[in-house]
């Protein structure tokens, strides 16, 4: 805590005490400082899509630049209809425009949901960096179900049942947040797991916020939504940030079933007194994104091929070095478990995931984000690597020259994602050095 | 309260109970329904600039459409510098880029400020529709200083002193929100009033949020900021929504003095866990707006001439009819006081400002917003009229054909803002009918 902060603590909301800038941003700042000092940094910390926004979506923004009216709080009606149609087509669920809420990023919508919903919030660890700080800001308690490497870092039906058995007030309303393909882990659920989790949630009256922001980045294009098996209790979260490469545009969507419209309505009331509505030109442009079509599907196809290729090669290299990591299924993250090196790390004076990442950055220039940011135990040697530090536009152009039905050729990663392979090699050499 | 709402009340935040969609939106919906039913409606309810976004700002958005990166939480550095320079030039205050916070609308920033600041919030009634609902959502208490027609609906040094004398815990930190040119009243402060209010605030350690979103729409272009007289304790609120006609773009700014950077920092922490940052293409475009230049000044000059002309003619007509209303000084609102007709209104079974506006809409098609939306007593016969229901692009083009130094010619309002004059005539006839 800085001097300034302590001086003014009596003038600020006590719930904010100790909260700093997010760890994701912090590692970004530190990387920049190292770069400024002339050091080569592998920026595997911040999770931003390396790909450009599809050209036709950018064109739509240009076309609609003069749109200046305040749009309805829940969103532009035609965009809401397009998002509903998107989920109907892609996920096979029967949602309607009336159930779609457009927000300035799905993060803001998760915050509103936490503010509005009265009941327990349940998350699965490792989990995305913001769920828990949001709850803290709101003075809410969050229940954490801890997963592990053995469970592929995911919720399993068994873990879910064990949690519910131990729950003290079984009648308290509850909402569980699931995120798949996962940030920080890059893995996802099998159909039978989703069915079983859905059945348990239904039986126990647990609502689900299904954060599927990486859904369209399932590397094989076969994302499955739990909403299919538990439609009446599931809210689907999506947005432009990941699959459309438009994180900086700030547009997220929540899609509610009829049974949960009351929750959508309450969120809209808070929205009307806070952000009002999402930027009009951005909403018009988003129609082109969610509407899709051949060009967008080609873009997605190539994006997925690239992420599959570099993600899996990275995972293989790391596995060979003794780091425990699962083959990625979607998104652009790997969750690294250094527990095989625990003893050596302790000998080197490293006591936490934060210490590990700090030392790795100093000694190799590789920036990855420590596991404690994702609610893992402080002393567990885990960390998230985002395999996004390459020129996405260049890689995409190269991929486009290869027939869609063919895999990327040998050497593609080395040519277009060289920095990822280099950084991964740095990590493997670094852990090997502990065995010397 | 709807059936659905009551059924799910136990599942939602009790602070939201009874909060509905904002009155501004409600009147908009009702007007639309009447229009759909074939009725002519004078849309004086919603306060949206009728003018297009200046062409060079729209061009800047087109140019920067491909910007896709997440921008820093507090805003794009060059935009923050431009906003600081804007206030230095326009308001003669010495603020720095480091003190600028960019948000998705100043409404969101006011909300964050209320969330972060620990202490009393003071507003002056009549006040903007959202300050008080925001406080309710946050479970905060707000203190209201009541003004009146005689005080031009504004805070006066006397009212301020009286409030402070009666304050129970004089040592509790406090922040007062001032809004001028005012929504809903269209009036502003004289220099001597600002000086005196500033001196009182300084003496009593009261921070000020100076909501100057209509500052550049001072009809004579001579807006004065209280920040000039109380720099160390004042946050200036501004944005693109009003003077730049870009309400739907959602970009607001707060500018803090060095002494209040701690507050800005805390707000940025909450921002990083909620909306993250403002849409990147919008931020790049906003640089062109805040940078200004000859084209923007010409645009502003003409916008002001039109608003001055139609605002003052409307006020004169209303005054003649016996409605109490002040000549507007800036923005695009008039706050109408029907108290001269109180007895007749009661005889007609009208008991509240809401009832008055409802009857006026039904009988004349004129939609204005009842005073209780602005925290006026329910039974006071007051209402806000927004004089914006005309084709702003057409009026602007016509105004551009007239030398900047000349006033708009006789008949301009009738030709380009006909619906405003018609609607005002409807109001005056309606009140006259009570004297029959």
Q: How many C-alpha atoms does A290 have within 13 Å on its Cβ side?
A: 28
Interface contact flag, B266 A13, Cβ < 8 Å: yes
Q: Where are the domains of chain B?
A: 3-52+295-433, 55-293
Residue with tokens 């990387």: A31
Q: Is B14's pLDDT higher than 70?
A: yes
A426 touches chain B (CB under 8 A): no
Query: CA B88 from chain center: how many Å?
Result: 22
Q: In the numeric block, which tokens belong to residue A380? A: 């567990």
Residues 135-174 of A with CB under 8 A from B: 137, 173
For the CA atoms of A311, A317, A320, A323, the dihedral, rounded to the nearest 10 degrees, stands at: -60
3-state SS string for chain A: CCHHHHHHHHHECHHHCCCCCCHHHHHHHHHHHHHHCCCCCEECCCCCCCCCCCHHHHHHHHHCCCCCCCCCCCCCHHHHHHHHHHHHHHHCCCCCHHHEEEECCHHHHHHHHHHHECCEEEEEECCCCCHHHHHHHCCCCEEEEECCHHHCCCCCHHHHHHHHHHCCCCCCCEEEEEECCCCCCCCCCCHHHHHHHHHHHHHCCEEEEEECCCHHHECCCCCCCHHHCCHHHEEEEEECCCCCCCHHHCCEEEECCHHHHHHHHHHHHHHHCCCCCCCHHHHHHHHHHHHCCHHHHHHHHHHHHHHHHHHHHHHHHHHHCCCECCCCCECCEEEEECHHHHHHHHHCCCCCHHHHHHHHHHHHCEECEEHHHHCCCCCCCEEEEECCCCCHHHHHHHHHCCCCCCCCCCCHHHHHCHHHHHHHHHHHHHHHHCCC
- Angstrom distance (rounded) from CA A370 to CA A381: 8
Nearest to B250 among A21, A268, A279 (CB): A279
Q: Please, what is the Cα angle at B215 between B213 and B219, to 5 degrees?
A: 130
Question: Once rounded to an integer, what is the mean pLDDT over residues A52-56?
Answer: 96
In this structure, are residues B272 and B281 in contact, taking their beta carbons and an 8 Å threshold?
no
- Angstrom distance (rounded) from CA B97 to CA B288: 16
CB proximity list for A161: less than 8 A, separation 6 or greater: A200
Closest CA to B197 of B236, B149, B164: B164
Q: Is the Cα dihedral B137, B141, B142, B145 positive or negative? A: positive
Residues 57-86 of A with CB under 8 A from B: 58-59, 61-62, 65-71, 73
Q: Helices B294-320 and B55-63 sit at what angle, rounded to 10 degrees?
A: 130
Question: Once rounded to an integer, what is the mean pLDDT over residues A365-387?
Answer: 97
- Angstrom distance (rounded) from CA A193 to CA A357: 33
Q: Give the best residue of B3, B11, B56, B77 to mutate against chain A (max A CB count within 10 A).
A: B11
B21 touches chain A (CB under 8 A): yes
B349 touches chain A (CB under 8 A): no
- Please state, for a pLDDT cut of 90, what percent of chain A lies above it: 89
Residue A136 burial class via C-beta count within 10 angstroms: exposed 0-12, middle 13-18, buried 19 and up: middle
From B318's Cα to the closest Cα of chain A, the distance in A is 29
- Angstrom distance (rounded) from CA A197 to CA A218: 20
Question: What number of other Cβ atoms are within 10 A of residue A90's Cβ?
Answer: 17
Nearest to A107 among B263, B276, B285 (CB): B276
Residues 83-122 of B with CB under 8 A from A: 104-105, 107-108, 111, 115-119
Regarding an ipTM greater than 0.85, the answer is: yes
Residue B406 burial class via C-beta count within 10 angstroms: exposed 0-12, middle 13-18, buried 19 and up: exposed
- pLDDT band at B6, cuts 50/70/90? low
pLDDT at A6: 58
A249 touches chain B (CB under 8 A): yes
Interface contact flag, B273 A115, Cβ < 8 Å: no
Buried-state track B314-329, b at ≥16 Cβ within 10 A, e below 16: bbebbeebebbbbebb
- Chain A residue numbers with beta carbons less than 8 Å from the beta carbon of B49 are 68
- Angstrom distance (rounded) from CA A285 to CA B174: 43
- Chain B residue numbers with beta carbons less than 8 Å from the beta carbon of A115 are 13, 137
CATH 3.20.20.70 holds for B3-52+295-433: no
Q: Is B143's pLDDT higher than 80?
A: yes
- Chain B residue numbers with beta carbons less than 8 Å from the beta carbon of A73 are 21, 25
Tens digits of residue pLDDT in B62-108: 999 999 999 999 999 999 999 999 999 999 999 999 999 999 999 99
- How many beta-carbon contacts under 8 Å exist across A and B? 222
From B80's Cα to the closest Cα of chain A, the distance in A is 17
In three-state secondary structure terms, B387 is: coil
Residue B95 burial class via C-beta count within 10 angstroms: exposed 0-12, middle 13-18, buried 19 and up: buried
- Angstrom distance (rounded) from CA B30 to CA B365: 11
Interface contact flag, B61 A281, Cβ < 8 Å: yes
Q: In the numeric block, which tokens belong to residue B43? A: 């849309």
pLDDT at B3: 43
- DSSP symbols for B220-247: TS----GGGT-GGGEEEEEESTTTTS-G
**Fold of the domain spanning A55-292:** 3.40.640
- Please state, for a pLDDT cut of 70, what percent of chain A lies above it: 98
Closest CA to A388 of A417, A431, A428: A417
- Chain B residue numbers with beta carbons less than 8 Å from the beta carbon of A280 are 248-250
The mean predicted confidence, pLDDT, of chain A is 95
Nearest to A273 among B46, B137, B246 (CB): B137
Tens digits of residue pLDDT in B252-304: 999 999 999 999 999 999 999 999 999 999 999 999 999 999 999 999 999 99
Interface contact flag, A19 B250, Cβ < 8 Å: no
Query: CA B281 from chain center: how many Å?
Result: 25
B18 touches chain A (CB under 8 A): no
Helix (H) or strand (E) holding B334: strand B333-337
Q: Is B325's pLDDT higher than 60?
A: yes
Q: Is the Cα dihedral B53, B56, B59, B65 positive or negative? A: negative
pLDDT at A3: 43
- DSSP symbols for B145-162: EE--GGGTTS--HHHHHH
Q: Searching chain A, which residue's CA lies closest to the CA of residue B172?
A: A11
CB proximity list for B228: less than 8 A, separation 6 or greater: B91, B92, B93, B194
Buried-state track A334-356, b at ≥16 Cβ within 10 A, e below 16: bbbbbeebeeebeeeebebbbbb
Nearest to B16 among A11, A68, A266 (CB): A266
Q: A46-50, A230-234, A303-307 — which is least confidently predicted?
A: A46-50
- Chain B residue numbers with beta carbons less than 8 Å from the beta carbon of A29 are none
From B331's Cα to the closest Cα of chain A, the distance in A is 17
Interface contact flag, A274 B134, Cβ < 8 Å: yes
**Fold of the domain spanning B55-293:** 3.40.640
Q: How do A382-386 and A369-370 pair as beta strands?
A: antiparallel
For A150, left (φ over 0), alpha (ψ -120 to 50), or beta? alpha
Q: Give the best residue of B5, B9, B12 to mutate against chain A (max A CB count within 10 A).
A: B12
Q: A192-196, B28-32, B252-256 — which is least confidently predicted?
A: B28-32
Q: How do A206-211 and A174-179 pair as beta strands?
A: parallel
- Chain B residue numbers with beta carbons less than 8 Å from the beta carbon of A251 are 279
Interface contact flag, A62 B65, Cβ < 8 Å: yes
From B279's Cα to the closest Cα of chain A, the distance in A is 4
Count the residues in chain B.
Answer: 436
Q: Is A404's pLDDT higher than 70?
A: yes
Question: Once rounded to an integer, what is the mean pLDDT over residues A249-258?
Answer: 98
Interface contact flag, A25 B69, Cβ < 8 Å: no
Q: Searching chain B, which residue's CA lies closest to the CA of residue A279?
A: B249
Q: Is A325's pLDDT higher than 60?
A: yes
In this structure, are residues B117 and B263 in contact, taking their beta carbons and an 8 Å threshold?
yes
Using alpha carbons, list the distances in angstroms from residue B72 to B79, B224, B271, B285.
Answer: 11, 31, 11, 16
Nearest to B16 among A7, A269, A281 (CB): A269
In this structure, are residues B211 and B331 in contact, taking their beta carbons and an 8 Å threshold?
no
Residue with tokens 């002494």: B259
Nearest to B58 among A65, A137, A282 (CB): A65
In this structure, are residues A395 and A306 in contact, taking their beta carbons and an 8 Å threshold?
yes
- Starting at the earlier edge strand, list the strands of the sheet with A333-337: A333-337, A382-386, A369-370
Interface contact flag, A117 B20, Cβ < 8 Å: no
Question: Once rounded to an integer, what is the mean pLDDT over residues A321-335?
Answer: 98
Interface contact flag, B247 A69, Cβ < 8 Å: yes
Q: Is B361's pLDDT higher than 90?
A: yes
- pLDDT band at B2, cuts 50/70/90? very low
- Angstrom distance (rounded) from CA A87 to CA B225: 49
Interface contact flag, B61 A58, Cβ < 8 Å: no
Q: Give the best residue of A15, A46, A57, A276 to mutate against chain B (max B CB count within 10 A).
A: A276
pLDDT at B181: 97
pLDDT at A355: 94
Q: In the numeric block, which tokens belong to residue B320? A: 């003649």
């Amino acid at each position: 805590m800085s001097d300034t902060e302590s001086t003014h603590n009596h003038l600020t909301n006590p719930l904010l005490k100790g909260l700093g800038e997010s760890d994701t941003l912090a590692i970004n700042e530190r990387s920049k400082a190292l770069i400024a000092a002339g050091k080569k940094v592998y920026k595997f910390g911040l999770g931003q899509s390396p790909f450009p926004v599809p050209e036709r979506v950018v064109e739509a923004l240009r076309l609609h630049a003069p749109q200046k009216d305040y749009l309805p709080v829940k969103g532009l009606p035609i965009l809401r209809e397009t998002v509903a149609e998107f989920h109907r087509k892609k996920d096979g669920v029967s949602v309607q425009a009336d159930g779609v809420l457009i927000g300035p990023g799905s993060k803001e919508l998760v915050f509103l949901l936490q503010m509005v919903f009265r009941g327990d919030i349940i998350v699965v660890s490792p989990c995305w960096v913001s769920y828990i700080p949001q709850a803290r800001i709101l003075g809410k308690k969050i229940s954490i179900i801890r997963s592990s490497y053995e469970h592929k870092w995911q919720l399993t039906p068994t873990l879910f049942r064990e949690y519910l058995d131990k729950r003290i007030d079984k009648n308290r309303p509850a909402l569980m947040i699931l995120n798949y393909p996962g940030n920080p882990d890059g893995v996802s659920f099998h159909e039978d797991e989703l069915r079983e989790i859905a059945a348990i949630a239904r039986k126990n009256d647990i609502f689900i916020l299904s954060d599927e922001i990486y859904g369209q980045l399932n590397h094989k294009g076969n994302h499955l939504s739990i909403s299919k098996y538990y439609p009446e209790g599931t809210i689907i979260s999506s947005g432009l940030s990941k699959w459309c490469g438009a994180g900086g545009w700030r547009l997220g969507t929540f899609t509610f079933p009829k049974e949960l419209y009351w929750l959508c309505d309450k969120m809209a009331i808070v929205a009307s007194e806070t952000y009002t509505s999402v930027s009009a030109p951005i909403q018009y442009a988003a129609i082109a994104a969610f509407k899709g079509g051949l060009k967008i599907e080609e873009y997605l196809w190539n994006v997925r091929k690239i992420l599959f290729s570099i993600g899996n090669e990275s995972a293989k290299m790391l596995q060979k070095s003794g780091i425990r990591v699962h083959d990625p299924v979607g998104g652009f993250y790997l969750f690294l478990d250094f527990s095989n090196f625990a003893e050596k790390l302790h000998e080197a004076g490293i006591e936490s995931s934060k210490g590990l990442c700090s030392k790795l950055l100093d000694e190799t220039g590789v920036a990855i984000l420590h596991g404690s940011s994702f609610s893992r135990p402080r002393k567990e040697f885990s960390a998230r690597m985002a395999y996004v530090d390459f020129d996405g536009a260049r890689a995409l152009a190269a991929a486009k020259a290869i027939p869609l039905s063919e895999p990327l050729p040998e050497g593609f990663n080395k040519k277009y994602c060289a920095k990822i392979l280099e950084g991964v090699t740095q990590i493997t050499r670094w852990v090997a050095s502990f065995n010397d």
